[in-house]
Amino acid sequence: MITRPTRAADRLILAIDTPDPAAALALAARVGPHVGLVKAGLELFCAAGPDGVAPLIAAGPVFLDLKLHDIPNTVAGAVRSACALGPSMLTIHAGGGAPMIAAARRAADAFGPSRPIILAVTVLTSIDAATLAETGVAGGPVQQVLRLARLAMESGADGLVCSPHEVAAIRATLGDAPLLVVPGVRPTGSAIGDQARVATPAETVAAGADWLVIGRPITQADDPVTAAQDIAKNL
């Protein structure tokens, strides 16, 4: 199972957002040696299926970001199928509740030391307080993230996915135990895009993040390799 990164470059997770498995593999081959992991998400998985992500996993460590959320038995089955591919990280939704999280962890444990880190997604980085309120959740993102973070860690998750804005609060509340993977990271001067809760890479690491998920600021740069190297240097 993958452990906490010690080198700056290893903290970076390259988000590959494309439905084209050949393009994904080419980008991973080019930038992968300069980051810790590459992230394959729903766009690629829904377009190309397991066969689309398998070559990425064969080439290096992969964060398989499927955000599984269903009844416990269904999620357990999906985790088993995903683990068979050999990813280093796998996401579920903390909002699925304690029984679902526990079922996911049990399914992953069957794969022994080679199992992926099970990460529970708290509140998506595109969601702000107003959007949460529309779903019936009062109190804002930090309160909801902490509520789900406690639930997830008590139920067997290895770590959490949260925005940069909640990293310090999670560390203050739960200490060093959770592995923290943080999207919504934007280098100074980068476009925010569809993110609502963002911070710079240096700010996010200083708050206590383990890994930073960065996509467009690298993938859409004129030179993605140099962009990734520059981000790592500024950590």
What pLDDT is recorded for position 184?
A: 84
How far apart CA 149 and CA 135 sit, in angstroms, is: 19
Q: Where are the alpha helices (DSSP H) in 95-215?
A: 98-109, 129-134, 141-154, 167-174, 201-207
pLDDT, one tens digit per residue, over 75-116 is: 999 999 999 999 999 999 999 999 999 999 999 999 999 999
Return the DSSP state at 30.
H
Nearest one of 85, 39, 100 to 64, comparing CA atoms: 39
Per the residue annotation, which of 19, 20, 67, 221 is the catalytic one? Answer: 67
Read off the pLDDT of each residue in 38-51 and give the average, rounded to a whole number. 97
Please report the domains of the chain, with CATH numbers, ordered by start residue: 9-233 (3.20.20.70)
**Position 50 confidence tier, pLDDT thresholds 50, 70, 90:** very high
How far apart CA 65 and CA 86 sit, in angstroms, is: 13
What is the distance, to the nearest Å, from the Cα of residue 56 to the centroid of all Cα atoms in its chain? 16
Residue 174 CB-density burial (10 A; 0-12 exposed, 13-18 middle, 19+ buried):
middle
Read off the pLDDT of each residue in 14-19 and give the average, rounded to a whole number. 94
**Position 187 confidence tier, pLDDT thresholds 50, 70, 90:** confident
Residue 171 pLDDT > 90:
yes
What pLDDT is recorded for position 10?
A: 97
Alpha-carbon distance values, 229 to 34, 118, 162, 226 (Å) = 7, 28, 24, 5
233 a catalytic residue? no
